[in-house]
Amino acid sequence: MVENAIKHGISQEEKGGTIKIASQVKNTSLELQVLNTGHLNGNGKNGFGVKSTNERLNLIYGEKGSFAIKQLDADTVQAKVTIPIN
Q: Which pTM was predicted?
A: 0.86
Buried b (16+ CB within 10 A) or exposed e, 14-51: eeebeeeeeeeeeeebeeeebbbbbebeeebeeeeebe
Question: What is d(CA 26, CA 71) in angstroms, rounded to the nearest whole number?
Answer: 22
The whole-angstrom distance between residue 19's C-alpha and the CA centroid of its chain comes to 12
Please give the chain's pLDDT, 86 residues, in tens. 999 999 989 998 889 899 999 999 999 999 999 999 999 987 666 677 888 999 999 999 999 999 999 999 999 999 999 999 97
Closest CA to 19 of 62, 85, 76: 76
Domains of the chain (ranges plus CATH)?
2-84 (3.30.565.10)
